[in-house]
Structure formats: structure tokens, C-alpha cells
Amino acid sequence: MFPKFSFLLIFAVTLNLTHKSLCQDWETFQKKHLTDSLSVDCDNVMRRALFHCKARNTFIYSLAGQVKALCRGVPGTKDVLSHKVFTLIDCIKKEYCQYKTKISDNVICITCENELPVHFVNVGSCNNPV
């Protein structure tokens, strides 16, 4: 009985940590996805604790207010597709913590929660999240 309990406890803790890592708030969203420069140094940025050398991250080249405005008037939690095209900088992992940089222009899908952006969902549509 004890090994079964231990497994369940470890599973519950792991699930809880995973769930919390997916949660964001407006402050974290800004740190993870907004940039005021078109020249993002992906190799250095993605080494930061906030990213932990993850496989991919998309930065939105925009003022915070323009992205925040996408959630204006959106109650509760909802995915929203922008009508405005944004310049995006993708950091895509080639090998351990080394990245290629891809710049593109597209609409974005973000999750709004209580009228604030909290999660970057996808590029181009709200289907098939990144």
C-alpha cells in the first residue's frame, strides 16, 4: 500500500508543478513575450531561468499597450485572435540552448484573463497551439 501512495504523491506533486508552470499573469506574459527590439539575442535570452532552454518562444515586437488592448472588454478567460498583424521574433532551438532566429509578420492568438493577456497561444489562428 505504501509504494502505491508514494507514487500517487509524486504524481500529484509533478502534476501540480506542471500546471503552475503553464499559468501566467500579465507581468510574466510581458517578460516572456514582449520585446522593444527587433534584434533579440535568442542564445542569451533563452538561457535565462524564465525560459530554461525551452524548445521555442515567440516574442512580439510591440508596445505593451497594443497587446494589452486585445483583451479590453474580454470578460473571464478566452482566447482572442488579433486583427492587427504583429512582427514576431521566434527563437527556435537547434541544439542544447542554441537557437535560430526567425522574424515574421502575422496575427496572434493570446489568452485573455480578466481583460489582461496571460498566455501566448499561437501564430495565425487560435487552433493548434504552440
Q: Which residues are catalytic?
A: 33, 119
Instruction: Quickly list DSSP for 109-123.
Output: EEEEETTEEEEEEEE
- Distance between alpha carbon 89 and the CA centroid of its chain, in Å? 12
Q: HSE (CB half, 13 Å, CA atoms) of 1?
A: 0
The full length of the chain comes to 130
Q: Which of 24, 42, 5, 1 is nearest to 116 (CA)?
A: 24
